[in-house]
């Protein structure tokens, strides 16, 4: 006999989601879809892979994600493609391609692929729910997008969430600021951390993001973005912050919040869950990207959106001890059939067509074995069809969740099964 081969496992940094965990995903996505709908966003679906240029141009080829973490491959036709590392660039590419009327408001759920060092809350395939709104730079849409995220977190049951905001300015005022920052960093280059001591000049903004104390000290003594915004950007940002406050959403200015992609302009924001470890406590983030559509070959079009990591949201709920539904929805009825006929096939079909969930046993097993499966299934009711029921044109309905099985058993005419099950299930 040959040795059994080692079973395959999901690749490092990825995970399978099975019931009952998957019920939490269902709930989360349903709540997000409901909120996205309330705020006027429609679902958009784009391919999981794109021409690598969409991301190199979109998020910036020198960004950490594009240069170090992207899954890039050549297909059999010699095209260079990349698995999507985030949702925004693909959605904006689709906007540029199809030119829908604006304002265009789209929501999505998508896996995202980044070759990161896997750890709790950081995966090589993670999943995001998100929205993008294109075609207006009215601060009212910034407020709406941020409010949607905040209200969604509330609806999930999260309570310890903080919103941080910043403005990246637009190319002119940011350009002038980056030059000042570069000069400051140049004067203190030997005090920066090992990683940034050599690369500060190429992208000085990244140093603001560095969590090491040496970089924090140097940048802390240097110029900060909010003080160098032009009048327009300053007014836009003030409007967003005031608007959020007017609907009871407090925000904290974090001048170091520069985010990891090159497309951001003006408003940027991040939601952090205080119940999570600081290294992976961002449960969602986003901002404005007023140059991205042009960068991808379209007409100048403003845009703003956010993405939120599903795994992180679930970890945050766990860490808060929140009791979001982690159980699979119970099945209404389990059909036990020992007649050797198609009785179970017909009954489950009738129940399912009437909107009731039902399961059945397979492989012609004994009554005892089928009852065991029925019990294990978590079904509310067992519908039993043996030879006696078959000849009498009846079905025995037993309450599997009741206190006393004997009392909670009744025979009903075959034609009344669907109505009786409906009634019993509704009474629960
Ligand atoms: P991001 O901040 O890179 O932004 O990702 C959004 C969220 O995805 C993060 O806040 C985090 O919750 C989750 N996330 C990111 N990377 C991982 C990972 N490796 N493992 C687990 N969760 C992760 C974006 O992706 C932008 N597209 C957001 C956006 C939309 N900006 C404008 N519109």
Angle separating helix axes 231-246 and 139-156, nearest 10 degrees? 40
Which residue in this structure is represented by tokens 């039993």? Answer: 384
| Nearest residue (CA) to ligand 1, atom 18 | 122
Tokens of 211: 């969590």
In this prediction, residue 327 has a pLDDT band, given cuts at 50, 70 and 90, of: low
Atom of ligand 1 nearest to the CA of 312: 12
CATH number, domain 333-427? 3.40.50.800
Residue of 92, 280, 307 with the most ligand 1 atoms within 8 Å of its CB, for mutation: 307
* Nearest alpha carbon to residue 138 among 327, 344, 288, 336: 288
Is residue 36 over pLDDT 90? yes
In this prediction, residue 426 has a pLDDT band, given cuts at 50, 70 and 90, of: confident
- The confidence score (pLDDT) of residue 229 equals 96
Query: How many angstroms is it from 172 CA to the middle of ligand 1?
Result: 27
- The confidence score (pLDDT) of residue 43 equals 98
Query: How many angstroms is it from 66 CA to the middle of ligand 1?
Result: 14
Identify how many contiguous H helices and E strands the chain contains and give both numbers: 16, 16
- The confidence score (pLDDT) of residue 5 equals 87
Pick the CATH number of 22-170+230-319 from 3.30.1360.10, 3.60.20.10, 3.40.710.10, 3.30.930.10: 3.30.930.10
Tokens of 79: 């095209």
Q: In what order do the strands lie in the sheet with 80-83?
A: 49-51, 80-83, 72-74
Q: What is the mean pLDDT of residues 74-103?
A: 98
- The confidence score (pLDDT) of residue 323 equals 74
Percentage of the residues of the chain whose pLDDT score is greater than 70:
97
Tokens of 288: 């404005």
List of E strands, 294-364: 303-309, 333-337, 358-360
pTM of the model: 0.93
- The confidence score (pLDDT) of residue 405 equals 54
Distance CA 28, CA 310 (A): 8
- The confidence score (pLDDT) of residue 124 equals 98
Q: Tens digits of per-residue pLDDT, 375-417?
A: 999 999 999 999 999 999 999 999 998 765 555 899 999 999 9
Neighbours of 248 (CB within 10 A): 8
- The confidence score (pLDDT) of residue 279 equals 87
Percentage of the residues of the chain whose pLDDT score is greater than 90:
88
Q: What is the mean pLDDT of residues 253-282?
A: 95
22-170+230-319 and 333-427, same CATH topology: no
- The confidence score (pLDDT) of residue 206 equals 87
Give yes or no for a contact between 416 and 410, defined as CB atoms under 8 angstroms apart: no
Please report, for the chain, the start and end positions of each structural domain, with discontinuous segments joined by +. 22-170+230-319, 333-427
Is 128's C-beta closer than 6 angstroms to any atom of ligand 1? yes
């Amino acid at each position: 006999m040959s040795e059994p081969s080692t079973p395959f496992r999901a690749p490092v940094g990825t995970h399978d989601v099975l019931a009952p965990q998957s019920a939490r995903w269902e709930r989360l996505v349903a709540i997000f879809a409901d909120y996205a709908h309330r705020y006027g966003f429609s679902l958009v679906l784009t391919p999981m892979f794109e021409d690598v240029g969409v991301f190199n141009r979109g998020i910036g080829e020198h960004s950490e994600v594009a240069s170090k973490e992207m899954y890039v491959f050549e297909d059999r036709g010699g095209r260079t493609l990349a698995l999507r590392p985030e949702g925004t660039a693909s959605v904006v590419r689709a906007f540029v391609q199809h030119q829908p009327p604006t304002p265009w408001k789209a929501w999505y759920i998508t896996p995202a692929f980044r070759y990161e060092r896997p750890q709790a809350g950081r995966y090589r395939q993670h999943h995001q729910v998100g929205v993008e709104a294109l075609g207006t730079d009215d601060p009212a849409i910034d407020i709406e997008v941020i409010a949607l995220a905040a209200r969604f977190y509330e609806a999930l049951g999260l309570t310890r969430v903080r919103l941080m905001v910043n403005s990246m300015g637009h190319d002119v005022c940011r350009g002038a600021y980056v030059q000042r920052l570069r000069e400051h960093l140049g004067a203190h280059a030997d005090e920066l951390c090992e990683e940034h001591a050599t690369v500060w000049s190429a992208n000085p903004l990244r140093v603001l993001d560095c969590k090491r104390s040496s970089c924090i000290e140097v940048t802390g003594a240097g110029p900060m973005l909010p003080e160098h915004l032009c009048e327009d950007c300053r007014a836009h940002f003030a409007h967003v912050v005031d608007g959020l406050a007017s609907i009871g959403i407090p925000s904290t200015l974090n001048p170091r919040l520069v985010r990891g992609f090159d497309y951001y302009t003006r408003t940027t924001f991040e939601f952090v869950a205080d119940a999570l470890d600081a290294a992976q406590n961002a449960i969602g983030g986003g901002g404005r990207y007023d140059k991205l559509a042009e960068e991808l070959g379209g007409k100048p079009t403003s845009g703003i959106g956010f993405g939120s990591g599903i795994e992180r949201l679930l970890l945050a709920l766990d860490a808060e001890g929140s009791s979001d539904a982690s159980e699979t929805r119970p099945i209404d009825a389990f059909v036990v059939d020992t007649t050797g006929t198609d009785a179970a096939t017909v009954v489950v079909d009738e129940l399912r067509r009437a909107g009731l969930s039902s399961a059945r046993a397979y492989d012609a097993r004994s009554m005892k074995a089928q009852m065991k499966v029925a019990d294990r299934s978590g079904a509310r009711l067992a519908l039993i069809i043996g030879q006696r029921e078959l000849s009498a044109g009846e079905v025995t309905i037993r309450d599997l969740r009741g206190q006393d099985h004997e009392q909670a058993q009744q025979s009903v005419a075959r034609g009344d099964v669907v109505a009786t099950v409906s009634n019993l299930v509704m009474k629960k």
